[in-house]
Every structure is written in C-alpha cells, then in structure tokens.
Copies of this chain bind each other. A is one copy, B any other.
Amino acid sequence: MTLEDVARRAKVSTATVSRVLNNVGQVKNSTVDRVMQAVEELKYYPNLNARMLAGGPNRTLGMIVSNLENPFFLDIFRTLEADAHRRGYDVLVANTDYRPQQLMSSVKMMLGRGVSGLAVVVSEKKPSLIRELSGINLPVVFYDVGAAKANITNIKVDYRMGMQRIVEYLYGLGHRRMAFIGHHTTLEPLGDRKATFLEVAAEYAPRLKVMTVASADGPTGGRNAAREILTSGFRPTAVVCVNDFMALGVLREMHERRIRVPEDVSVTGFDDIGLAEFVSPALTTAHIPREEIGHLIGEALIPGPHGRGEGKEIRIETTLVVRESTAPAPITSSRRRAASTGKRAKRAS
C-alpha cells in the first residue's frame, strides 16, 4: 500500500494525494473526496520513515529516562505524552537503567530516528553528551543534568532545599540519629543528593549522627538497604530515602520486623509519587511537581503559536508533604531520664 496505489485508484498524481493527506496547498473538494475514499478503501497508512526522510511534517518527540519503573519518571512521561498527543505528536521513550552507555546509544537512536525534540530526564551525567547535543539544531531539554544553551532548556529541582526541609523537620521532631538511603551514588546527580544530605546534616553536628547506605532503585533496593542499616548496629530514629520508590521497601521491611512506623522510626521519601499516599503509613515526602515538569518539557519541545520557550533555565521548588510516616522521635532511655528531670520535657513529649 503506497501513495502511488492510492494515487492510481483516485486517478490523480502522488503529489496530489500527498497534498490532501498533509492538508497543504489547494486541492479541489471533489478531488479531496476521491482521494480520501481511495485511502479508506485501500486502508492506506503512510510510511512514516519515508515521510520523515522526505522532510515531511515531523511530529515525534523523544524522551530518555533512567528507570521507567520508577513512577517519578513514568509520570513525567505520561504527562508529556498526553500533551504531545493533544498536539498531534507521538513520543518515543527509551530507558537507560542508569547506564551511561545506554544513554549514549539511546540518544543516537533518537537522533537517528529524527525526533523533532528530545527530553533527557536521567540521572547519569555525560559531559560529552551535553556538548554534542548543544551542537545540533534541535530543541533539547535536560532534567537535572546539563546547562541551558541556545537550543537546550534546563530543568532543575531544588533538591537541596527539599532535603533541608526534611532534615530540619525531622530534627525538630527530636530525631538525632538518621540514616540516608540512596542508590547509584557514583552517578553524579545521585551522589550529589547523598552529599547534600550529609552537608545538611553536618549543620547539626555533632548532635546529629548519620549513616548512609546505597542499594538499587526500587522497593527491593529500599528493603535491602533497610536491612543493611538494621543489621549494622546503628539505630536511627529516622530513615530518609532518596526517593519514594525506595521508601516503599523500607516501610515494608520495618513492618516485617515489627518496627512501628512512625512510632519507633520515622521514614521519609522524596518525589511524592502517587503511591506515597496509598501505602500505610502514608509517606511523608517532598513533593516534586512532575506534571508541571511534563508540561514544561512539552512547551519547550513542541513549537507553539508563540514559538517554543527555548534555552531557559527552569528551577523547580519542592514542598514538604507531611503524612503518616513521620512522628516525634521515640524517647530513648537516656532521653527519658532527661525528660523526667524536666530538662527536655518539651521536646521529648
């Protein structure tokens, strides 16, 4: 089924068929009808490869994420896709599983497919990548990694501020021993998060004791990390996780060990994925407006009536969402003693 078949059937030239299909140029109404009918009868659908090769309307976006399984990424993808569909665009996704190498090949794949816009929402940094991508003439948006250039807009969330609010909040609740659970800490943005936690925690030194452990992204990773902490001898009263997805796992591990959350230990996440309010206890976390991010990406990549908002540097703020997984630190024997003498009664209560 090619354009030519349709043309023959409608007794016109391929040029005309192309014109009616793309709705460009002037075509007599009766001809349009004839062509459309032929299209129907033949169940013709265009060969998109040929179309793109020939420089036809290119309506496909590309999006590369680190882990589609993590609702954080999936949510961004879904809002972008919804926006894109609304504007007649398709979006191709690629998953890197946090592998820089896979990132590179995914980018080449996207470019090779000729996407008209590319969103790179990953946690692996590749300086060379950014350099390459800023060379080509294509709107690009980076999330978390990269810097704004002529053709690339950069979206960054203020992770530090979010982390600060969490630690502050926990500290205010009387927590003095905290554990941080992360994953892929050798990858820059992810390592930064851990470093950020450490820095923020350091502000409360030496009264605050911390430990950090890394595992894989996801509930299973979270559970393993929790186990590691629990068997380490360190007894944190609060566990702060790099993201909600992992927090799910620590919640479960606590449950299985009959460690009550939040009575015995508080747990926090980051992202505020939908599941955060569906687990029990519901997760206290820092909300990252993923829908907004999805929309922003769409705006940056899809040319609108006002052109597209290229080359901007966008900063996203997080907000602390307190739910059920956090509470005042339990009174330890030593603190109870202090409390009984009335010295810290306020905080311990």
Contact = CB atoms under 8 A, between A and B. Distances in A.
Interface string A235-279: 000000000000011011001000000000000000000110111
A107 B76 CA distance: 24
A147 interface: no
Nearest to A223: B278
A252 B274 contact: no
A47 B92 contact: no
B69 A74 contact: yes
Interface in A187-226: 218-220, 223
A83 interface: no
Contact of A45 (B71, B93, B112, B248): B112
A304 interface: no
Contacts of A219: 274-275, 278
B95 A92 contact: no
Contacts of A275: 219, 248, 275
A219 B274 CA distance: 9
B45 A108 contact: yes
Contacts of A277: 252
Contacts of A49: 48-50, 52-53, 112-114
A74 B108 CA distance: 24
The oligomer's copy count stands at 2
A111 B94 CA distance: 19
A280 B251 CA distance: 9
Nearest to A136: B1
Interface string A48-90: 1110110000000000000011010010011001000000001
Contact of A46 (B74, B112, B223, B280): B112
A109 interface: yes
A15 B153 CA distance: 39
A43 interface: yes
Contacts of A93: 93
A175 to B, nearest CB: 23
A74 B92 CA distance: 15
A95 B112 contact: no
9 contacts: A49-B50, A90-B109, A92-B92, A218-B274, A219-B275, A252-B278, A252-B280, A255-B280, A279-B279
Given A49-B53, A78-B95, 11 more contacts: A47-B112, A68-B74, A90-B94, A92-B92, A93-B93, A219-B278, A248-B278, A252-B279, A252-B280, A252-B282, A279-B280
Interface of A: 43, 45-50, 52-53, 68-69, 71, 74, 77-78, 81, 90, 92-95, 108-109, 111-114, 132, 218-220, 223, 248-249, 251-252, 255, 274-275, 277-280, 282
